[in-house]
Amino acid sequence: MTNANATLADVARLAGVSEITVSRVVRNLGPISENTRQKVNSAISKLDYVPNRAAGMLASAGSNLVAVLLPSLSNIVFPEVMRGIAEGLRGTGHQPLIGVTDYDPLQEEALLTSFMSWRPVAVITTGFEHTETTRRMLSSGRIRVAELMDIDSQPIDLAVGLSHRSAGQVTSRHLADLGYRRFGYVGHDWTADRRARLRYDGLVEGLAERGLSIVAETLNPGPSSTEAGKAALATLLAKGAAPDVVVFSNDDMAVGGYFHCLAAGIEVKRDLALFGFNGLEIGQCMPAPLSTLRSNRFLIGKQAVEVLLSTPKRPDETQTIDTGFEIIVGKTA
C-alpha cells in the first residue's frame, strides 16, 4: 500500500537484512532462518513489494516465457490447443506470450520478432509455412521450437500433431467401405489453411485407390464457418452432380451443411451423407451426431509443452510426435 514500486533494497532496509537475503526469501532459495524469513515477509507485505521480472531476467539472463503463435482465436480449435499449452505450463513457473497471426506468415514474422526481444525459452507455432526471416530466427538460436498441428513435413526442431494427408485417406477409405461412391467436397480457403488442403489431397488419393474420384466440389472463399458450410453445400447441390456423400473441410463447415439439409428437407444419410473433421462438441450434440474424425487438440498443446520443457536445449535430431486421430462413426454417414 505504502509504495506501489518498492524494490528489493527497500524491503531489505525495512527488514534490516541485505538485498540478497530478501532475494533468497522471495525465490525460496538456500537456507534461511525462520526469523529472517518472517522479518522479510512482513516487510514485503508492508511495502506491497512486487518483484520486477525485467530486472530478474536481465540479471539471470533467463526468462520464463514461452512464445505462442496461433493462427486464429475464432476457430475454436486453437483455443483448445491453447488450453493444452496452458495445462502443460501449469506449475512449471512458465508463462505464455500469446500472439495471433491471422494465418499470415508476415504477421507471424512481426510477432515473432517482437516476442524474441523477450528472450523466450521456447517458441510454439503452427504449421511449417514461415517466412525466410522467421525460419532464420527460429533456426539460428538453440532455443526450442515446436510446430503444431501438422506432421506432414520436416520440422525445425519438434512437430506435434497428426498427418492430415493420412486423415484424408482414412476418410475416403472409411466412406468407400460404407458403400458411398459419389463424393462431394465442400471446403474453405486453402491458401490460408494449408492443412485443409492436405486433407483434401489425402481424400483424393484414398479415393483413387478405389478407382473413385470427387464428382463435385465447392470452395467457399474466406475462413471456415457454419454459415460458409451452409451456403457452400447449397451451391454444391445446385450443380446437380447428385453426390451420395459430402466431405467437409471441417466440422464447422459440416454443421452448416447439416443445417442446410434440415432447412431444405434433405434427409441426412438416407438422401445425403455428411462427414466432417475435428470432432467438435457441437457436432456431437446434433439430433444426428456428426460423422467425423477426432483430432486431439488439447493433447497437441500439452505434449508440445511437455517435450519442450523437459529438454531445454535443442537436441541435434528433429522429433515428430503423432497425436493421431480416430473415426467418430456418428449418424450422418
User: Residues in the site for its own copies, rule: CB under 8 A?
Assistant: 1, 4, 48, 50-58, 63, 73-74, 76, 79-80, 82-83, 86, 95-98, 100, 113-114, 116-119, 136-137, 140-142, 225-227, 230, 255-256, 259, 262-263, 281-282, 284-287
DSSP 297: H
Shortest CB 328 distance to DNA, Å: 49
Instruction: Please count the other Cβ atoms lying within 10 Å of the Cβ belonging to residue 26.
Output: 16
9 binds, among its own copies, DNA, none (CB under 5 to 8 A by kind): DNA
CA distance 253 to 277: 9
| Partner whose binding site includes residue 178, from DNA, its own copies, none (CB under 5 to 8 Å by kind) | none
Q: SS3 of 61, please?
A: coil
Measured from the CB atom, the residue of 8 and 214 that comes closer to its own copies is 8
Q: How far is the CB of 93 from DNA (least distance, A)?
A: 12
Residues contributing to the site for DNA (CB under 7 A):
5, 7-9, 17-21, 23-24, 26-27, 30-33, 35-36, 51-52, 55-56, 58-61
The x, y and z cell numbers of residue 27, run together, are: 525465490
Q: What is the helix (H) or strand (E) element at residue 50, kind and residue range?
A: none
Q: What is the smallest separation between the CB atom of 296 and its own copies, expressed in angstroms? A: 16
Phi and psi angles of residue 160, each rounded to the nearest 5 degrees, phi first? -130, 125
CA-to-CA dists, residue 112 to 195, 241, 307, angstroms:
22, 46, 21
Q: Which is nearer to its own copies, 281 or 326 (CB)?
A: 281
**CB–CB of 22/47 below 8 Å?**
no
Kindly tell me which of 203 and 231 has the beta carbon lying closer to its own copies: 231
Partner interacting with residue 142 (select from its own copies, DNA, none; CB below 5-8 Å by kind): its own copies
Q: Which is nearer to its own copies, 51 or 324 (CB)?
A: 51
The nearest distance, CB 297 to its own copies, in angstroms, is 11
Q: How far apart are CA 87 and CA 273, in angstroms?
A: 37
Pick between residue 51 and residue 105 the one whose CB is nearest to DNA. 51
Write down the least CB distance from residue 168 to its own copies, Å: 26
326 contact partners, CB below 8 Å, separation of at least 6: 293, 294
By beta-carbon proximity to DNA, the closer residue of 44 and 149 is 44
By a kind-dependent CB cut-off of 5 to 8 A, residue 234 interacts, out of its own copies, DNA, none, with none
**Residue type at 333?**
A
Q: H helices then E strands: how many in the chain? A: 13, 12
Length of the chain: 333
C-alpha cell at 210: 478405389
